A and B are shown apart, each in its own frame.
Chain A
Amino acid sequence: AQSVTQLGSHVSVSEGALVLLRCNYSSSVPPYLFWYVQYPNQGLQLLLKYTSAATLVKGINGFEAEFKKSETSFHLTKPSAHMSDAAEYFCAVSENSGAGSYQLTFGKGTKLSVIP
C-alpha cells in the first residue's frame, strides 16, 4: 500500500527566504507524485507532478521538486518566498489500484506561513 509522510505540519519562513517542504513516500511500484496547494476555502490546485521523466520537476509559481528514488523523497522548494505563497501544501502519490483507478493518497499537509 502506498503512503505519504509530510514532515512538519506547520512551516514558517521569512519573505524572500528559501521554502523547503518535505515529502517522503512509500510505493510498491514507481509512483506518480504530485504537489497540490490549497488556499483557504478553496479546492486543491496542482502545483507540479512527477511522472518518471526528468527527476527535477518545475511547477507553477516558481516551485520545483526533485524526485530521489534512493531516499523515497519528493521535497518541494522555492528559492524566495512570497507573501502569496502562504497556504497549505499537500504531497500525493498515485498508482493504479488494479481497478483502473489512479486515486491519490495524500499526506496530512503542511501549512506554510510567510513572515513579512
Chain B
Amino acid sequence: GAGVSQSPSNKVTEKGKDVELRCDPISGHTALYWYRQSLGQGLEFLIYFQGNSAPDKSGLPSDRFSAERTGGSVSTLTIQRTQQEDSAVYLCASSPPGLAGGGQYFGPGTRLTVT
C-alpha cells in the first residue's frame, strides 16, 4: 500500500517568510510524528499527534513552529518568520494504533533551505 508522503520534497525560502510542510500518513495510522534532521543536531522529535490532538509538543524549538492535523489524517507543520537555523530535513512518521512497539514509518522528508 501507499507509504507516508510529504510535500514539497524541497523548499527554498527567504529568511523571514512563512512555510508550510505537508504530511500524508499511512491510511489508518492514528499516531503521527514530526522530526527534524540537521547536521548539527541529528534527528530530533518535534511533535506527536494522536488523532487530531497534539498531547506532546515538547520538541517544538520555538513558538514560531506550529502544527495541526485534520480528519485524523493530513498534518501541516508551519514555520513562521523562518530563520537560517531552521534549515533542515523535516521528516514525518506514522504508526498504527495499539502497537506502541510497532515502529514508525517515515516519509521521504522535506528539505528546507532558508536563505
Chain A interface residues toward B at CB < 8 A:
32, 34, 36, 42-46, 49-52, 90, 94, 96-97, 99-109
The answer to whether B42 and A103 touch across the interface, beta carbons within 8 angstroms, is no
The answer to whether B103 and A34 touch across the interface, beta carbons within 8 angstroms, is yes
- Bin chain B's interface residue count: 20 to 34
The answer to whether A43 and B104 touch across the interface, beta carbons within 8 angstroms, is no
The answer to whether A99 and B103 touch across the interface, beta carbons within 8 angstroms, is no
Known: A42-B108, A106-B43, A109-B42. A101 touches B56 (CB 8 A): yes
The majority secondary structure among interface residues of chain B is strand
The answer to whether B48 and A101 touch across the interface, beta carbons within 8 angstroms, is yes
The answer to whether A100 and B50 touch across the interface, beta carbons within 8 angstroms, is yes
* Total contacts A-B at CB 8 Å: 70
Restricting to B78-115, which residues have a CB under 8 Å from any CB of A? 91, 93, 95, 100-109
Q: Which residues of B contact A97 (CB under 8 A)?
A: 48, 56, 58
Chain B interface residues toward A at CB < 8 A:
4, 31, 33, 35, 42-43, 45, 48, 50, 55-56, 58-59, 91, 93, 95, 100-109
The answer to whether B107 and A101 touch across the interface, beta carbons within 8 angstroms, is no
Q: Which residue of B lies closest to A52 (CB)?
A: B101
Q: Which residues of A contact B33 (CB under 8 A)?
A: 101, 103-104
Nearest 6 CB-CB pairs, A to B? A51-B101, A101-B48, A32-B101, A101-B56, A106-B43, A43-B106
Cα(A97)–Cα(B79), bound, Å: 24
Q: Which of B45, B50, B58, B95 contacts A105 (CB 8 A)?
A: B45
Q: Which residues of B contact A94 (CB under 8 A)?
A: 100-101
The answer to whether B45 and A104 touch across the interface, beta carbons within 8 angstroms, is yes
Cα(A101)–Cα(B47), bound, Å: 9
